[in-house]
Amino acid sequence: MIIGFITGSLGVVWPWKKEIYTTDIAGNYMTDASGNPILENYSRYWPDLTALHTWLAIGLIFAGFLIVYLIDKYGQQANPA
């Protein structure tokens, strides 16, 4: 069940996306009461695998997984059940 929640939230946390703002008939951005453009949706895309920042982001993803794994292993050793 938790895998379903994680998979469902991938669209929200997906780092490679471009904002799509609401426009009027003339193509001008519509704004809210504060003057900020109204966000309609995101356009998600696959990253450019030749760019350094893409590999940095992928490396940080794996580093995060490794840190969580090591903390879990340490917790199992410190408090064996």
Euclidean distance between the first and final Cα of the chain, in Å? 24
pLDDT band at 81 (very low <50, low <70, confident <90, very high): low
pLDDT at 23: 93
If you search the block for the tokens 């994680």, which residue do you land on?
6
Q: Which amino acid is at 54?
A: T
What's the CA angle centered on 15, arms 17 and 39, to 5 degrees? 40
Average confidence score pLDDT of the chain = 90
Taking only the tens place, the pLDDT of each residue in 36-54 is 999 999 998 998 999 999 9
The more confident residue out of 72 and 13 is 72
Residue 68, token pair as written in the block: 């969580």
Residue 28 in this model has a pLDDT that exceeds 70: yes
